Chains A and B, each alone.
Chain A
């Protein structure tokens, strides 16, 4: 775990982060509803004369889902739904849940189903399995798009961020916004992006920084002007309470050396010294201090 830098709300994983961790999701972590839907899936199979078919995932990625819909042309109501799924228990359970949820809904109602709705229908999914619910929602989107004669995905600029799992920037942004995801780990749990070789972890982080710092602009500016002494005390306090514990957990550390106007000078210690990610670490600290102290702060390393 040495190479995981935890800072603020953004968890960064160094590129060489060891990924052969064995954290098994066991049967015990699934809710009874998930177990039941997995052991006795509803609506499994195919509809030979389906009006809409949506297919996502691939056998190489480890899960794939195909959904078949029968749609009443007059009312636009989904009269029947079936699925075929290659994947783990939660993928099968999510597919089963999805087909149950869409039946009887019209297309507009169905298109409003989110991945969270699917997970909720199952009484929740383990964090590492949220991508199964996202896959379900995507298959539904694909089916509805095909019925409406649209192409899926709808996005035009298809920038692939995670090459291992073929996840686009648009998908990362969409899932992050819908589920309020702020860390790379969360993005990995929901989309798999970053869960392979790890090369795109920094890109995902950049997307998150971009996404949520844009949001932050909506927040009111800092209410009061600080005296120099108050400012230094506040910086020191934020470093002690919010920055150092995360660094120390990874055997790193940081010390405040000086404050000169907007310039905050710090020194990295321990594992942070010479860490390939130290520039990113400094960037995160700067962002945090800008957010909590003053927007003109520039963080620099000592010496």
Chain B
């Protein structure tokens, strides 16, 4: 049975066209792009073609793109480059709801003596802009704020932040891993200095990402070795995956408006049905400024892992911010930062759709979800008087 895959913020299916495009470079064309012979050297041209496609999805020049191994490497590189390039400045600003790739790297820097400000969010997951403004000082080396949150899909006002920081001449990095390919981005009018993206979130395979570094931005490489990527990221290129990333960007760019509309229509259908199906269900985060594919819904009185495993029985894949699924006993740091009550955090489920999500699949989830919630609430000692879901 083909799974109903609604966990696309975790990873996505490789697009068939992308797979086709990359395959020859895993078999016949196995050369090293740095070689002097044509067999290897010709791959260099392919990588540059791919770089152009990646550049075009965010509206930048190809030479501003550095290929990396993943979103985390892009994030780590951006942060490390900033602190290495400006060694006298010792203050960073990020948010409490960042991905661990940024958050934990900031904590790592904090242990090494850096001062880090973690910006709070309100109960809709929106950033406190005044707090950001007040936190800036002469010692601030970098502000790193995600474009959209991976758990809730909430979009931060990146345009406003970028312009504010540009005025003050402060370096700005954004982790746009969840955004690239989902909504249009044009860095010609958006003054960020560095931007991270990841292949496997937009239908390319795992193991490839990119970092955009604006021309004129001081840069210090994180991985040191050979001359690849103009000396900015050493290591023999992951040729097939880089080609795949280029193709994935091309595909995404071709259909971004239409896909975004279709996906958000399905997402809204699912969300509205879930809100109607049972009492004590809530959507977490700002629904006005949100990625088109994501909904984070909390079902009170039941626990997320239990919901996920029941969904799993029906072949439906989603994820949860509950403690039991994080392996850490503490539930989602994002939902807690938003002040979502613990009762709702434990029962939070994230559905994240993609261009491959069909209406039938959404109908299936709408059909089974009330049954699952009803069954689990019947097991639960809490909220028993409040249900039940009218079975459809």
Contact with B along A9-27 (1 / 0, CB 8 A): 0000000101111111101
Residue of B whose beta carbon sits closest to that of A128? B327
Q: A16-B107, A27-B309, A60-B342 are in contact. Are A85 and B379 (CB under 8 A)?
A: yes
Residue from A22, A44, A55 in contact with B326 in the complex, judged by beta carbons closer than 8 Å? A22
Q: A59-B342, A59-B346 are in contact. Are A87 and B303 (CB under 8 A)?
A: yes
Residue of B whose beta carbon sits closest to that of A129? B324
Cβ of B90 < 8 Å from any Cβ of A? no
Cα A199 to Cα B183 in complex, Å, equals: 42
Cβ of A118 < 8 Å from any Cβ of B? no
Cα A263 to Cα B37 in complex, Å, equals: 65
Cβ of B239 < 8 Å from any Cβ of A? no
Stretch of A61-69, A252-260, A283-291 contacting B (4+ beta carbons < 8 Å):
A61-69
Contacts of B331 in A (CB 8 A): 62
Cα A84 to Cα B378 in complex, Å, equals: 8
Contact B380–A62 (Cβ < 8 Å): no
Cα A92 to Cα B306 in complex, Å, equals: 8
Interface residues of A in 191-224 (CB under 8 A from B): 192, 195-196
Q: A38-B309, A66-B381 are in contact. Are A25 and B327 (CB under 8 A)?
A: yes
Cβ of A91 < 8 Å from any Cβ of B? yes
Contact B327–A24 (Cβ < 8 Å): yes
Contact A21–B324 (Cβ < 8 Å): no
Q: A38-B306, A62-B323, A66-B381 are in contact. Are A21 and B342 (CB under 8 A)?
A: no
Contacts of A59 in B (CB 8 A): 301, 342-343, 346, 382
Cα A63 to Cα B162 in complex, Å, equals: 43
Cβ of B137 < 8 Å from any Cβ of A? no
Contact B306–A87 (Cβ < 8 Å): yes
Contact A22–B327 (Cβ < 8 Å): yes
Cα A94 to Cα B328 in complex, Å, equals: 20
Interface residues of B in 316-361 (CB under 8 A from A): 322-331, 333, 342-343, 346
Cα A64 to Cα B192 in complex, Å, equals: 47
Size bracket, chain A contacts: 35 or more
Cβ of A104 < 8 Å from any Cβ of B? no
Contact A87–B324 (Cβ < 8 Å): yes
Contact with A along B62-78 (1 / 0, CB 8 A): 00000000000000000
Contact B379–A19 (Cβ < 8 Å): no
Cβ of A39 < 8 Å from any Cβ of B? yes
Contacts of A24 in B (CB 8 A): 325-327
Q: A19-B328, A25-B327, A195-B328 are in contact. Are A86 and B382 (CB under 8 A)?
A: yes
CB of B151 to closest CB in A, whole Å: 12
Residue of A whose beta carbon sits closest to that of B312? A27
Residue of A whose beta carbon sits closest to that of B332? A20
Residue of B whose beta carbon sits closest to that of A84? B381
Q: List 24 A-B contacts (CB under 8 A).
A: A18-B107, A19-B330, A20-B326, A20-B328, A23-B328, A24-B327, A25-B325, A44-B378, A45-B378, A55-B381, A59-B346, A62-B331, A62-B346, A63-B303, A84-B380, A85-B379, A86-B301, A86-B382, A87-B303, A88-B325, A91-B303, A92-B306, A92-B379, A196-B329
New contact pairs (9) apart from A23-B328, A92-B306, CB-CB < 8 Å: A3-B111, A24-B325, A24-B327, A41-B379, A45-B378, A62-B324, A86-B302, A86-B382, A164-B330
The interface of chain B, by Cβ under 8 A from chain A, is 100, 103-104, 107-108, 111, 301-306, 309-310, 312-313, 322-331, 333, 342-343, 346, 378-382, 384
The interface of chain A, by Cβ under 8 A from chain B, is 2-3, 16, 18-25, 27, 35, 38-39, 41, 44-45, 55, 59-60, 62-66, 84-89, 91-92, 128, 164-165, 188, 192, 195-196
